[in-house]
Chains A and B, each alone.
Chain A
Amino acid sequence: MATWHEYLRTEGRPPAWPYPIRFEQEQVIDTDVLVVGGGIAGCWAAISAARQGVRVALIEKGDVSRSGSGGPGCDHWCNAPANPLSRVDPDDWARHMADRPYSNGIGIQIQCREDFDTLLEMEQMGGKIRDTDDEYVGAEGRDDKTKFMISPRYGVTHSYLPIPGMDEPGFNPPEDRNNVVIRVWGNSFKPLLKKECKRLGVQVFDRIMGTSLLNENGEQGARVVGATGLNSRTGEFLIFRAKATILSTSGAGSMWLMSMEHGGYSNMQSRANSGDGTVMAWKAGAALTKMESSGVIGIATGLKHKWYTGAGDASYENVPIVDAKGRRLPYPIQGWEDAGVMVAAPEVEAKIREGILKGEYELPFYGDFPAMAEVERRATWDLMLGEESTTRIFINTMKQGGFDINRDLLQAYKFIEGQSLPQWREAGYGGGIVVDWNLKTTVDGLYAAGTQMFAPEDHSYAAATGRYAGRKAAAYVREVGDAEINRDQIEQEKNRIFAPTKRERGIEWKELHSGLSRAMQYYVSEFKTERLLKMGLEEIERIETEAVPQLFAHDPHKLMRSIEDLSMIEYAKIIIHASLARKASSVPLGFNRIDYPETDPAEWNKFLTFRLENDKIQAGELPPNFWGDMAKQYEAHNKDYTGVYSPE
């Protein structure tokens, strides 16, 4: 007996709610630094602040041991150009990585300077970052002295675009490689981070969703002096009084698509990624940017990071892809031969498509593991996929199910699953909070790290920026006094949060989510016009005035999901306001305006910013490289940086 319906049949009644119900009961916590969101960035922020000797509280919607996009693991420590095997200067490499349009030069500079230090601290905590068991001797990229395993990713340039000359013989010789990405055994990282938080005395609050920030005197835009939280098991309401607050939650992953029945949410993010932190910052008066950007969700039968199928997945290296007759396809393999390139050139995509239609290539395609050298095969399967996020359970179940990498071809779905629909979009990795060189937002007392910032990057970026934000927030709390929280703001938030518990019937969270998603699909989709966007705003405001007052939730878990919906509704409105303001199309922003078709005109090469002041939207803009000279700015702001932490 394990499912709910089995329990019902056996017991003759549904199970009672297993946790005490404490709707509206309050718990007040005083701390110096409050971290909202206990994923990779949040854990590192909490650890880093605690090492500075200040009191730290960390709240997390799930359980810190495995929560967040990096909870299950990490196989690549990207952008560590300060490692001893690197052939590039960290500052040069940072400039290269930040040269992509609408990237975040501040976060990238921090990552490039401090990522390797962060990794060494991970090793101090017990994380495995070297092949100390000599499992992969002879693998390409393994350094026998340090036992680091260099990855082919970012081998010549960043790997997001095809590299000219990558098909030619002699391309990417070992002596020319950048060596900036290190393969790691990251499955153990998250539990180790939680352990370190506990060791350092961080107060960890699991199953607490952040719901709002508290401003001094309750005034929007004034110093942030704490936050409120909801316990998703008990319904208890938590009030945190803090001298500094760091936001480190995720972006919104399922704004355009509510599709649980197709196996999870069918994108790279879980439903828990609902943009709560971004909306909390917005309501507190912090500026956001890049909110108009979106891309098509990588959804399909293959579930991307859930299923590993060789070429075409974001998480493979060196696996050649072959057709049903065993013929090699010209698709890049994200490996040594193409310097880690992740996508095919358009002409290669066209050639494969044409080849399929003409019968030159026969479907389905396969990842040809047996064709690989034995040690490379193991490195890809056991190290990369075994340590990376949600692919660990995939390889474990495949092994148990009889799949043998030495013998079998793994069927690939990329070319038979079709394309995602253009209206199934995602915004989780684009827009976010504007930060300065202290990772401080535009509101005093409020910091941001990882995916919470605009234009975020990967796991190690979250780690390095979280570590940095924790340090800066700790320095800030030494300079400021206590601040009182405003009771009216608390009451207002309690009324908002607990309203769904006071209704017996109406609209539940799933219907609200799907209604919002449909509105986004109709009006904020692949092609945008002023009329459609305004209709979208009207539709979402109608949902707010007509559906939200009917929202009901009878237990704390569904209440959490309901409050997430409210975050997504607010997030959607911000996206529409930002989309209305950008009167030009843009390729890097995934942004097409039918009424302003010109693509990336020079005068629109800027960040559009938005913030609330007295609940009215204030628009602004920042130049494309508003962070200034990255190396100089970093130096100026980090004169006191002491490098790798030394345990006592």
Chain B
Amino acid sequence: MSERDVFAIPNIQTPSTPVIFDPNVCTGCNHCVETCPIDVFIPNPEKGVPPIILHAEECWYCGCCVDDCPCPGAAKFNWPLPLKPRWKNKESGEVGQLK
């Protein structure tokens, strides 16, 4: 990171990333941009690439962007850190948690 890359910007929204896009799979069709009831996303000015997450903290986690995504694997839902559910294997007692 060079010195000129450090911008003076306000704090990043919390949570900031409700969805993680895979740029190798996402075709930039912007279906999620149109589906989202909140307008969390805007289209990227560059065609064919994932949208930009603009209003991340307004997300109400309905999940329609990922559920309705026409490209399997292009978008992964990313529950914020305080919202990662846990479970326990009934037999072994081994604990699991959403990553």
Contact = CB atoms under 8 A, between A and B. Distances in A.
Interface of A: 1-5, 7-9, 15-16, 18, 61-63, 65-68, 71-72, 187, 191, 206-207, 232-233, 260-265, 269-272, 301, 303, 306-307, 309, 326, 366, 368, 370, 389-390, 392-394, 396-398, 400-403, 407-411, 557
B59 interface: yes
Contact of B62 (A66, A307, A403, A410): A66
Given A2-B53, A407-B89, A410-B87, A260 B58 contact: yes
A6 B93 CA distance: 40
A5 B9 contact: yes
B60 A207 contact: no
A307 B83 contact: yes
Given A1-B50, A263-B15, A389 B96 contact: no
Contacts of A401: 96-99
Interface residues of B, number: 58
Interface string B36-57: 1111001111000111111111
A7 to B, nearest CB: 5
6 contacts: A18-B45, A263-B61, A271-B60, A326-B90, A398-B98, A407-B89
Contacts of A15: 42, 44-45, 52, 54
Contacts of A260: 57-58
A306 B84 CA distance: 11
A307 B54 contact: no
The residue in B9, B14, B62 that gathers the most chain A C-beta atoms within 10 A of its C-beta is B62
A270 B60 contact: yes
A604 B60 CA distance: 38
A390 B88 contact: no
A392 B67 CA distance: 8
A382 to B, nearest CB: 14
Contact of B64 (A18, A72, A271): A72
A433 to B, nearest CB: 23
Contacts of B68: 65-66, 191
Interface of B: 5, 7, 9, 12, 14-17, 19-21, 23, 34-39, 42-45, 49-64, 66-68, 76-77, 79-80, 82-83, 85-91, 96-99
A368 B37 contact: no
A264 B88 contact: no
B34 A63 contact: yes
B67 A301 contact: no
A3 B17 contact: yes
A483 to B, nearest CB: 32
Contact of A366 (B21, B53, B88): B88
Nearest to A18: B42
Contacts of A271: 38, 58, 60
A408 B87 contact: yes
Given A263-B80, A410-B87, A9 B45 contact: no
Top 3 closest A-B pairs, CB basis?
A: A393-B63, A62-B37, A270-B60
A545 to B, nearest CB: 28
A303 B61 contact: yes
A396 B67 contact: yes
Contacts of B36: 62-63, 66
A67 B80 CA distance: 22
Contacts of A262: 82
B83 A306 contact: yes
B66 to A, nearest CB: 6
A5 B60 CA distance: 21
A270 B59 CA distance: 8
Given A7-B52, A9-B7, A66-B35, A261 B57 contact: yes
A178 B50 CA distance: 50
Contacts of A63: 34-37
Nearest to A262: B82
A368 B90 contact: yes
A571 B58 CA distance: 21
Given A272-B37, A306-B83, A403-B85, 12 more contacts: A2-B52, A5-B16, A66-B36, A72-B64, A72-B67, A261-B15, A307-B85, A392-B63, A392-B67, A396-B66, A396-B67, A407-B90
B87 A403 contact: yes
A3 B56 contact: yes
In the complex, which of the residues A2, A66, A393 has the most CB atoms of chain B within 10 Å of its own CB atom? A2
A65 B34 contact: yes
B17 to A, nearest CB: 6
Contacts of A264: 59-61
A394 B63 contact: yes
A2 to B, nearest CB: 5
Contacts of B12: 3, 5
Contacts of A263: 15, 61, 80, 82-83
